[in-house]
Amino acid sequence: MKNSLLKTDEIGVFALGGLGEVGKNLYVLEISNQIFLLDCGIMFPDAHLLGIDYVLPDFTYLEENKERIVGLFITHGHEDHIGGIPYLLRKVNIPKIYASGFAVSLIKAKLGEFTDIKMPKIENYESHSKYYFKDVEVSFVRLNHSIPDMHGIAFKTPLGYIFHTGDFKIDLTPVGPGAEYHKLTKMGEEGMLLVLSDSTNAERDETIQSERAIGESINDLFYNIKGRIIIATFASNIYRMQQIIDASILSNRQVAVIGRSMENAIEIGLQSGYIKAPKDIFVKPEDINRIPPERLTILSTGSQGEPLAALSRIAAGSHRFIKAIPGDTVIFSSSPIPGNQEPINRTINALFRIGADVITHGPLADTHTSGHGNQFDLKLLLSLTKPKFFIPVHGEHRMLKFHRDLAISVGVDPQNILIMDNGDVAAVSKDKIRLAGRVQADDVYVDGTGIGDISNNIIRERKMLSDDGMFAVIITVDNQNRKIIGDPTIISRGFIYMKGNEALTDALANDTKEFVTNVFNNKNLISESEFKTKLSDYLTDKIYDITQRKPMIIPVIRNFNTTDL
Ligand SMILES: [Zn+2]
Ligand SMILES: [Zn+2]
């Protein structure tokens, strides 16, 4: 089957995730009727998706066109780029996954947790590797990010190069190997058809520190702190964890690792050689009380104030092994992800209350830097690669817009830039880029073991329940004689506390009784569902008048013999 949206010789480019959001990146290239997949991530839901564990890309299009998929190419091992792989493999067979170094270790560890999935073929590419398909040569460009082995991926096509940057920043003094900027220039000279580039920090024009500078700043901090150090960072930032281990060695401290995701990351890092540390540097959490405070670093999850993470539990005094004490210094080696400031503040306040000192990233202490390039970096990448066409990716709509302006400022023709949503299909030819149509690209929610069985309606109901609670009214009717039997029973949860509000519930019970009697007195017959809707609407208005709240109303009608009242 062909993609009917594309003309012969046109290349199709679209996203099933990653546009209009930071997360669940999955980009699709269709070249000479072959489907190339780029990354397959998950997204962590924000607070309005109540009870949802993850959000996945919609794989429907890939299921419908699975015979044309030639491979999945992974830029790097962050969850928003690899987290969706097990779920994708359950739906479609991927001939081969191409990933590099540390990403391979992380993918294998992840797939090991899904016993129902057969391990796919994984090709461990290096930055000089090349793979050949019909009309396409795939090659790689090492770039710098907050995790080892991040590569941009280039597709050499009959129309020119298509280059997907992955997540990157320009870091001239990186931790780990340097970036291959010369390859970018070379592709630019040979003819760059299209660039898809990381938009995460397209709004930021301030300098983004080199990873190495943060290492030095952490060394200074550790040197000057006398008591115990509790330091929280992202479990995805392998370089930072290494720097914290190095600073601990320099300041003669042992390291306790707390929190499951951090323990996993350290484990995989040590096994694959991406984290280097002498074995005896680590101390088990249950043994930390044997170590003098000035000889101990506690490396912890919870830098975003996540309520169940180790640091939040330490701050709340509910951690199994670790109690914060006066004299402790807690360092946030992270910056708040937008929306997380409030839980972080709660954690910081709790720590201060205990008598701990708290250091966050700011003008006084460089404890964190972003893994994503600022405006300068993004403009430099576009200037080196000189693309004819440009699609900003990996970002919320606002970030994509900012990135578009940056591209225009370095000379990309505004008509050659497309800002797209997930599912929008761009058709690219030698001298034109056009929106050709759409493919299905909804959000798919994972809730516990259920995948895709949670709809937007359920999210809306959860939202309603969490805002205003629920109000159930149970009535028994004798529909032969068209009358209500007894008084309605009212149950409320999360709306009003029943005890002490008897006057209100009595009034609502009476109103319900009156309403039902009126319906019976009316000669017109109505169906049960129509009846329930009317009763809900009636009670919604009544309750809103009295309380200004809109709980979910659940009418339950018992003792029905026929469907008509
Ligand atoms: Zn990343
Ligand atoms: Zn990312």
**Same domain? 386 vs 412:** yes
User: Can you give the CATH number for the domain in which 252 is found?
Assistant: 3.40.50.10710
Task: Work out whether strand 34-38 and strand 26-31 pair parallel, antiparallel, or are unpaired.
Answer: antiparallel
3 within a domain of the structure (yes/no): no
- Please choose, from the candidates 197, 246, 190, the residue with its C-alpha nearest in 3D space to the C-alpha of residue 389: 197
| Range among 227-236, 367-376, 418-427, 550-559 with highest mean pLDDT value | 418-427
**Same domain? 17 vs 163:** yes
Task: Output the CA–CA distances (angstroms, integers) from residue 65 to 25, 59, 279, in the order listed.
Answer: 19, 10, 49
pLDDT for 533:
87
pLDDT for 386:
98
Burial 104-116 (b: 16+ CB within 10 A, else e): bbbbebbbeeeee
Tell me how far apart the alpha carbons of residues 291 and 512 are, in angstroms, rounded to a whole number: 67
Q: Contact, 480 vs 561, CB < 8 A?
A: yes
pLDDT for 138:
98
Rounded to whole angstroms, the maximal C-alpha distance in the chain is 88
User: Can you give the CATH number for the domain in which 200 is found?
Assistant: 3.60.15.10
User: Can you give the CATH number for the domain in which 470 is found?
Assistant: 3.10.20.580
pLDDT for 310:
92
- Please choose, from the candidates 165, 164, 162, the residue with its C-alpha nearest in 3D space to the C-alpha of residue 193: 162
Domain termination site, one of 359, 380, 401:
359
Ligand 2 centroid, distance to 200 Cα (angstroms): 8
Sign of CA dihedral 261, 266, 271, 275: positive
**Same domain? 80 vs 112:** yes
* Residue 17 pLDDT grade (very low, low, confident, very high; cuts 50, 70, 90): very high
**Same domain? 126 vs 261:** no
Sign of CA dihedral 487, 492, 498, 503: negative
Over residues 179-203, the mean pLDDT reads 97
Q: Percent of the chain beyond pLDDT 90?
A: 68
In this structure, what DSSP letter does residue 110 have?
H
Phi, psi of 58, deg, nearest 5: -85, 120
Ligand nearest the Cα atom of residue 103 = 1
Q: Contact, 515 vs 449, CB < 8 A?
A: no
Ligand nearest the Cα atom of residue 77 = 1
Ligand 2 centroid, distance to 436 Cα (angstroms): 27
Tell me the residue ranges of DSSP E strands in 113-234: 122-124, 130-133, 136-143, 150-157, 160-164, 192-198, 229-232
Ligand 1 centroid, distance to 506 Cα (angstroms): 57
Does the structure show a pLDDT above 60 at 560? no
Domain termination site, one of 382, 416, 448:
448
**Same domain? 63 vs 148:** yes
Task: Output the CA–CA distances (angstroms, integers) from residue 205 to 202, 210, 327, 403, 462, in the order listed.
Answer: 8, 15, 37, 12, 39
Active-site residue among 198, 366, 443, 447?
198
> Average pLDDT, whole number, for the chain?
91
Domain termination site, one of 402, 420, 448:
448
* Residue 48 pLDDT grade (very low, low, confident, very high; cuts 50, 70, 90): low
* Residue 385 pLDDT grade (very low, low, confident, very high; cuts 50, 70, 90): very high
466 within a domain of the structure (yes/no): yes
563 within a domain of the structure (yes/no): no
pLDDT for 474:
85
pLDDT for 366:
83
| Range among 52-56, 142-146, 553-557 with highest mean pLDDT value | 142-146
Tell me how far apart the alpha carbons of residues 407 and 197 are, in angstroms, rounded to a whole number: 10
Ligand nearest the Cα atom of residue 198 = 2
| Strands of the 483-493 sheet, one edge to the other | 483-493, 470-478, 552-558
Q: What angle do CA 152, 155, 159 make, to 5 degrees?
A: 135
Q: Contact, 34 vs 134, CB < 8 A?
A: yes
Does the structure show a pLDDT above 60 at 24? yes
Over residues 54-71, the mean pLDDT reads 96
**Same domain? 408 vs 462:** no
Domain enclosing residue 297, as ranges: 211-359
**Same domain? 240 vs 342:** yes
340 within a domain of the structure (yes/no): yes
2 within a domain of the structure (yes/no): no
pLDDT for 524:
75
Q: Percent of the chain beyond pLDDT 70?
A: 97
46 is a catalytic site residue: no
Per the structure, how many domains does the chain have? 3
| Region for residue 377 given its phi and psi (left: phi exceeds 0; alpha: psi -120 to 50; beta: otherwise) | alpha
Does the structure show a pLDDT above 70 at 367? yes
Ligand 2 centroid, distance to 82 Cα (angstroms): 10
Phi, psi of 198, deg, nearest 5: -55, 120
Tell me how far apart the alpha carbons of residues 230 and 255 are, in angstroms, rounded to a whole number: 10
**Same domain? 76 vs 215:** no
Tell me how far apart the alpha carbons of residues 299 and 376 are, in angstroms, rounded to a whole number: 33
403 is a catalytic site residue: no
pLDDT for 28:
98
**Same domain? 306 vs 392:** no
Ligand 2 centroid, distance to 80 Cα (angstroms): 5
Ligand 2 centroid, distance to 77 Cα (angstroms): 9
Higher pLDDT, 540 or 481: 540
503 within a domain of the structure (yes/no): yes
**Same domain? 135 vs 22:** yes
Ligand 1 centroid, distance to 54 Cα (angstroms): 17
Does the structure show a pLDDT above 60 at 358? yes
The neighbourhood of ligand 2, an ion, using CB within 5 A, equals: 80, 167
Tokens of 341: 């400031």
Ligand nearest the Cα atom of residue 17 = 2
Active-site residue among 372, 377, 424, 447?
372
- Please choose, from the candidates 458, 438, 433, the residue with its C-alpha nearest in 3D space to the C-alpha of residue 446: 458
Give the model confidence (pLDDT) of 463-495 as tens digits.
777 778 888 888 888 877 778 888 888 888 877
**Same domain? 200 vs 218:** no
Ligand 2 centroid, distance to 108 Cα (angstroms): 19
5 within a domain of the structure (yes/no): no
6 within a domain of the structure (yes/no): no
pLDDT for 201:
95
Burial 298-329 (b: 16+ CB within 10 A, else e): bbbbbbbbbeebbbbbbbeeebeebebeeebb
**Same domain? 227 vs 316:** yes
Higher pLDDT, 33 or 554: 33
* Residue 47 pLDDT grade (very low, low, confident, very high; cuts 50, 70, 90): low
pLDDT for 186:
98
Task: Work out whether strand 69-73 and strand 97-99 pair parallel, antiparallel, or are unpaired.
Answer: parallel
